[in-house]
Structure 1
Amino acid sequence: MTKPNDTIRVLIPLTVRKKNGRPKILPPADYRPSEDQAQDPHILRAIGRAWGWRRRMDAGEFATIQELAEAVGLAERHVSRQLRLAYLSPELLKRLTCGREASVVSLYDLCFLAGETWQEQAERVFRA
């Protein structure tokens, strides 16, 4: 049992680095994340944003991607690229958002898969 005057020190070997201008805590080199943390928050956020944009365009709020880009304050090219995420296969979206599978492609590469068949999309993203 500890006394009220005792001090307990806990040392956790973490490194803080800046990534995209924000501080990011890096775990030790031998750390292996659990399967529960396989989802990439950047991909989840981009998919959510793309679906929001798609709904707004389908509702007639914006007639063109250029109008949408101006409204959200982003470059037209960026909006155009990320809007493609809303047109990925339903199975792929389910595996990316609800499943615990890690994608083997980057967010940038994922944006260009919408033009492929649904079977090819899953094969490229998860190497199934």
Structure 2
Amino acid sequence: MTRGTPIPDTVTLHVPFNIVKRRGRKEMQLPERAMQPRRTDSTLMKALARAFRWKRMLESGEFSTIAELAAREGIAPSYMTRVLRLTLLAPDIVEAILDGKHGTDLTLARLLEPFPLEWKNQINKLKVCNLVL
């Protein structure tokens, strides 16, 4: 539209889709080329939240050791240390996870595997998981 062009009262938008039955329910199926809404992974988000909470508790002096904090939380210290490593992820990666801009192949198990400390190398490693930065 250009300046001075009147705004129409109605606008018609054509969106191609199919109606399919899944598990007895009707669902709208968009074409493959259409963007799918991003879904946040609550498991990853919960792990990140725990990691940063635990880090804050340790840094504040509320707990003096990981073993002490793990006992209070009722989890194994080895698991806690793996989750705490998530606080070393590059800020861009954390933001992408919280925004749901990661592929379905990026799972908590995959994130808990050893990763490089350098942020640039982390990003390169996780681009394999369709991470969108």
Question: 2: CA distance between counterparts of 1:88 and 1:123?
Answer: 12
Cα offsets for 1:16-44 (capped at 9, x unmatched): xxxxxxxxxxxx9x99893322x221111
2:43 paired residue number = 42
Amino acid at match of 1:102: G
Work out which of the two has the higher radius of gyration on C-alpha atoms and give 1 or 2.
Answer: 2
Q: How much has 1:12 moved relative to structure 2?
A: 5.0
Does the 8 Å CA contact 1:102/1:126 hold for their aligned counterparts? no
Tell me the TM-score normalized by structure 1.
0.66
What is the CA deviation profile of residues 44-65 of structure 1, one whole-angstrom value per residue up to 9, with x for unaligned ones? Answer: 1100110100110110111111
Tell me the C-alpha RMSD between the 2 structures. Answer: 2.8
Q: Secondary structure at the match of 1:62?
A: coil
Q: Which amino acid aligns with 2:46?
A: R
Is the aligned partner of 1:107 residue 2:108? Answer: yes
Paired with 1:113 and 1:97, the residues of 2 have a C-alpha distance of 20
2:23 counterpart SS class: coil
Q: Look up the equivalent residue of 1:13 and give its one-letter code.
A: R
**1:101 is aligned with what amino acid?**
H
Q: In the alignment, what sits opposite 1:76?
A: 77
Alpha carbons of structure 1 residues 35 and 69: separation in structure 2 relative to 1, 3 Å: same
SS at match of 1:49: helix
1:87 and 1:114 in contact (8 A); partners too: no
Q: Which residue of 1 aligns with 2:23?
A: 13
Once the two structures are superposed, residues 75-125 of structure 1 have per-residue CA deviations (whole angstroms, 9 ceiling, x without a partner) of: 111111111111211111111112533263331231235543111211222
**Residues 114 and 57 of structure 1, relative CA distance in 2, 3 Å threshold:** farther
How many residues in Structure 1 have an aligned counterpart in Structure 2? 103
Task: Return the letter of the residue paired with 1:82.
Answer: V
Secondary structure class of the residue paired with 1:109:
helix
How far, CA to CA, are the matches of 1:69 and 1:50 in structure 2?
12
Which SS does the other structure have where 2:61 is aligned? coil
